[in-house]
Amino acid sequence: MSEDGTPALGIVFNTAKLISAAGSIAFAIGMLYDYGYFVGLDRTFFALLNYQDHVTALIFFAAPCLCLALIFVMYWSNRWLHIAAGGFGAAIVSILTVGTGLAGSPSLSWIAFHLLSAALFIVIAYLTAAIVRWVASGEVEKPGMAQVLIYPAIFALLVLVILLGNHNYHADIASSQFTVEITLAQDNKTENRPQPAHIVRLTDGGIFMVLQNAPDRIVFVKKDTIMMLSKKVTR
């Protein structure tokens, strides 16, 4: 921090490298997030996604993560940032280590589940900031301790993004509320009866959902076979 309280970068960045690095990392973590999501579901379903689905992940996950990462870059000289990141990293390890032991306590399990989501997001942004700063500052071309440490950071970033995608998949299927009714067209295009369902994920090609009459299975319904979706209005 500078004397007037404003963030001090403490290093000169190459703007072109900064934009290139940020864009490349955002694209990579958006793809890896989707991959991690479908590791939990089934990797073969990953092929059902198209570029519009990946753009959605880019907008709603990678972009906010990148914005937070750029804020971290601005405050990189603040030692409390690194202390906090270390604390969240320790929280991730602790929750993953003792997570199964919390199953008997619904309240603690709920806290741990959401704390893990927040900690993963923050540490991913922190690692993204470290990589963007390393590339944009030109340190990528200079041998030294930074170059030695950055490769484990890249590996950790890849693993944590996949882990967060998988974690959010389990969050999406955890609900037992079948609040949506879906009406599907039969082969002869006659209207079928509405079925209660829980929507897991919307894609450009269709919907992943759990039907109430088959709660242990996830089905993919193509959008051209959907006659109607309805949900009760809450006033």
H/E stretch holding 72: helix 63-74
* 34 within 8 A of 53, measured Cβ to Cβ: yes
C-alpha dist (Å) from residue 57 to 36, 46, 108, 159: 12, 13, 29, 17
48: closest CA among 201, 199, 205? 205
* 185 within 8 A of 192, measured Cβ to Cβ: yes
- CB burial of residue 205 (10 Å; 0-12, 13-18, 19+): middle
Tokens of 181: 């009714």
Tokens of 106: 């619904």
* pLDDT per position as a tens digit, 39-79: 988 888 888 888 888 888 889 999 999 999 999 988 999 99
Tokens 């403490």 -> residue: 10
CA 187 – CA 118 distance, rounded (Å): 45
Q: Indicate the pairing of strand 226-231 with strand 206-211.
A: unpaired
81 residue type, one letter: L
DSSP-assigned beta bridge partners for residue 231: 180
Tokens 């030695």 -> residue: 148
139 residue type, one letter: E
User: Can you list the alpha helix ranges (DSSP code H) found in the chain?
Assistant: 15-41, 51-57, 63-74, 79-98, 106-136, 145-173
H/E stretch holding 209: strand 206-211
* pLDDT per position as a tens digit, 177-204: 888 888 887 766 555 788 899 999 989 9
* pLDDT per position as a tens digit, 80-135: 999 999 999 999 998 888 865 555 566 777 888 889 999 999 999 999 999 888 88
CA 74 – CA 69 distance, rounded (Å): 9
102 residue type, one letter: L
The class of domain 180-231 in CATH terms is mainly beta
Return the pLDDT at 3.
44
Return the pLDDT at 92.
92
Q: Give the start-to-end residue ranges of the domains of the chain.
A: 15-173, 180-231
* 164 within 8 A of 33, measured Cβ to Cβ: yes
CA 10 – CA 5 distance, rounded (Å): 14
